[in-house]
Structure 1
Amino acid sequence: MDAMRRTDTDRRTAVVTGAGSGIGRAVAVALNAAGWSVALAGRRVETLEETAAAMSAARDGAGPGDAPAGDAPRDGHVLTVRTDVSQPADVDALFAAVHERYGRLDLLFNNAGTFGPGGIALEDLPLSAWQKVVDTNLTGAFLCAQAAFRLMKAQKPQGGRIINNGSVSAHAPRPDSVAYTATKHAMTGLTKSLSLDGRRYRIACGQIDIGNAATDMTERMRRGVKQANGELAVEPVMDVADVATTVLHMAELPLEANVQFATVMATTMPYVGRG
């Protein structure tokens, strides 16, 4: 048996938020291919079904794009739950469904997030736009982590892992990104607190900071994005599968080991140094 693939009796269970596209989809596919049962959480059922179809295609040896949208045969190891992570009732329902289906939770990938409206100067940003980003990126991550903690603390054997999606914006902002950048800096504090508070329960927590993975959210990088000097510049991107490989490595570690912080980025993106 492949060392990374597990049998039904020792199969581990993961929750991936923001699983309907981009990084969340790539991570869900990688986890499932490595033998994990995966609960897919997101606001749109149709995109979650597309992710489930991509997972099925990957297990069958086809490319994710070869699976027709919505054509995802259920094998018991994929669960889709419509979830708005900013809503406590939705989060409670998600983790209740995971507990009912699988009986335990081994991994939460806290991935759901939004950049918010682009191109708006700080002084013109509506409070409602700020609040939406905070509610999704920060409050949503807290609510999911809290629910995961409750399950991981109570289950036997005790413990599990939480991986937060930070972003290189947890270190350096882009112009006109105050809400997104503030929440990603806050994510680092959340990661550290979860890591500390989880020690006594064998709950490990780490953070992956991602720069310019090729997703719909970063499509604008190919067209040109505003730089610190005000100019527009095209930025390089990397394959989102490389992010998934990194998350899988973090997830597969024994609970006695933890990647506290990891950065994976397009090698030549203007982040390190002065561009």
Structure 2
Amino acid sequence: MTVTGAPVWAVVPAAGVLLALALAAAVLDSVLDTTGIGADGTAQAVRGRRWSRPLAEAARLMRQRGRTTVEPDRLLWRIGTAGPLVAALLMAAVVPVGGTVVADLPVGVVWFNAVDVTLWAALWLAGWGPNSVYPLVGGYRFVAQALGYELPLMFALTAPAVAAESLRVGEVVRAQQGLWFVVWMPVAFVVFLGAVAAFGAWGPFSSPVGRDAAGGVLAEAAGVDRLLLLAGRYALEVIGLPAPPAA
């Protein structure tokens, strides 16, 4: 398969596809999650249409007013809030879809990993900016978690690049025409999936947004700010699926 570069305007539909897939991931996560927060603040079983919860929540957050705290660092808070979604879009730019890629960089694998590292700063800023205890705890939790999974992620990304003898993501895809790398690199694939979940603060790696810390980095986020953070989390999970080890 030949990978060709797309025109600059392809960034817009690529962003739309990524957001649509992020919504689909949120719906799937909602269907799998059978618990919610009751009126008394405790976890309770959820009944009804769980698949519609992300849509209803998105509509609610679009109408909700933003929250403010005492002496927040507004600039850093905004940067941290938008950071995860921007990082996901930058990572998506080097991932081929149907033989077309927005930016066919000669160091695409390095770019993918480098953008991943920016999440350390983004999530920490989302915790630091509000000048509140629980978001800061969540931010430090994410940094500690990212430190533990960044090196395994780097090795998992390096393995297919070495096998393809190229750092260009398109070449990595082309090298798998006969047999997918996941078949003879299963350990790298499993490590990569774990790292993606950790950087997306999902499932067993959700301590940065844990309920024991009142939502962690999400504790003071409300309205569009919270919607951006949630969209960024799911976009990171989505963009991880077609990345080099699984391409």
Under a length normalisation based on structure 1, what TM-score does the superposition of the two structures give? 0.30
- By relative contact order (CA 8 Å, sep 6+), the higher-ranking structure is 2
Under a length normalisation based on structure 2, what TM-score does the superposition of the two structures give? 0.33
Larger proportion of helix: 2
Larger proportion of strand: 1
